[in-house]
Amino acid sequence: MNLVNTIDSQDAAILEGEDELDLSGVHPVFAKAPRSVSFNKLRKRLIRQVRQAISDFDMLKGQKRWLVGLSGGKDSYGLLAVLLDLQWRGLLPVELIACNLDQGQPNFPKHILPEYLASIGVKHRIEYRDTYSIVKEKVPSGGTYCSLCSRLRRGNLYRIAREEGCDALVLGHHREDILETFFMNFFHGGRLSAMPAKLLNDEKDLFVLRPLAYAAEEDMARFAQAMEFPIIPCDLCGSQDGLQRNAMKEMLAGIEAKMPGRKDAMLRALAHVDPSHLLDPKLFDFAGLAVTKPSQTEA
C-alpha cells in the first residue's frame, strides 16, 4: 500500500487482520483508556498509520533497539503508547527505551516522567544536561530559544542512543510538523525540503525515525486527551515556537478550513516528486534532453 491509498480516507479499511483488532488485554499504558467506539476507531487509525509508515520507509530493517525521545508533550506520549501497543501484539520486534532529556529549564517537574514510565513498566533513562544555560547565554534577549535548544537536545539524544546500543532515535513528529517544515523551507529557505520519515544522521551511525509521519496533529491531541497523559508544557523556558513556524501552522489551518483534505493532498505531493517538472538541473539532466526526429523510412 502506498501513501496515496494510506491517507485518502482515514477511516478506510485498516491493514490486514487489524479490523478485528482485539483492544482488550493490552499493554498497561492502555489500562485506563476509554472503551468508546470513537476512541477505538482513533486508536486503530493511529496503529494503521504507524504500521504503514514503518512499512513504507522500511524502518525495521536491521533494527534491534530504539531510543524513543519523550519530551512530555502530547506527540511523544502518543508515539510511545502506539509503539508499546504494537510491541505488545508482536508487531514491532524491537526493544524500546524511553528517554527524556532534562535540559535544566526552570520549574521543570522532574518527577512526572520517571513516575509515569515506572507505573506502566517501561524501560527508560532520564538524562540531565543543562543546555538551558547555554541557550540563555547564546540567544539575544527577546529571541526564541527553540532552534538552538533543539540542536543541543538532538546531539545529546544521539550520544545517549549510542551509549544504550540503540540503532535509531525515534521522534514524535507528525503530519503537520512535516508540512510546516516544508513551507518554512519553501518560503524562507528557498528550497524544497521537508522532514523525512527516515533519516541517516551526519555520522552515518544512527537512523532518525518518525513513525507518526502520516498521523494528524488533531488526532494526536484527541488521543492524548483521552489517554490523560501527564503533559508537561513546552513553554517552561519562557520561549515559544518561532514566528515563522507559527505562521505556517496558521496558514495550513486556514487552508484546511476552507478546503478540507488539503493537508493530506500536500503530504501526498511530497511523496510524488517529478524532477523533470521542477527547476533543479542537479536532479534532472535538462542539458541532455534531445528531440528525436523520425527517420526518412518512417516518414
- How does DSSP assign 127-150, residue by residue? EE--HHHHHHHHSPTT---HHHHH
By the 8 A CB rule, do 78 and 43 touch? no
CATH number at residue 267: 3.40.50.620
Provide the residue type at 168 as one letter.
Answer: A
The reply to whether 146 sits in an annotated binding site is yes
**What confidence tens digit (pLDDT) does each residue in 229-258 have?**
999 987 655 555 567 888 999 999 999 999
Q: What is the pLDDT of residue 235?
A: 62
Contacts of 222 (CB under 8 A, 6+ apart): 42
pLDDT of 88-123, one tens digit each? 999 999 999 999 988 777 788 889 999 999 999 999
pTM: 0.85
Residue 291 within a domain: no
pLDDT given for residue 299 in this prediction: 55
Structure confidence at residue 294 (pLDDT)? 80
166 has binding-site annotation: no
> DSSP state, 201?
-
129 located within any domain:
yes
Place of cell 524562507: 188
The reply to whether 153 falls in a domain is yes
Let me know if residue 123 belongs to a domain. yes
Residue ranges making up the domain that contains 100: 10-275
Nearest Cα neighbor of 157 from 63, 59, 69 is: 69
Is residue 149 annotated as involved in ligand binding? yes
| Domain contains 289 | no
The domain total for the chain is 1
In a domain, 173, yes or no: yes
**Residue 189 is assigned to a structural domain of this protein:** yes
In Å, what is the CA distance from 234 to each residue of 30, 109, 264? 24, 12, 27
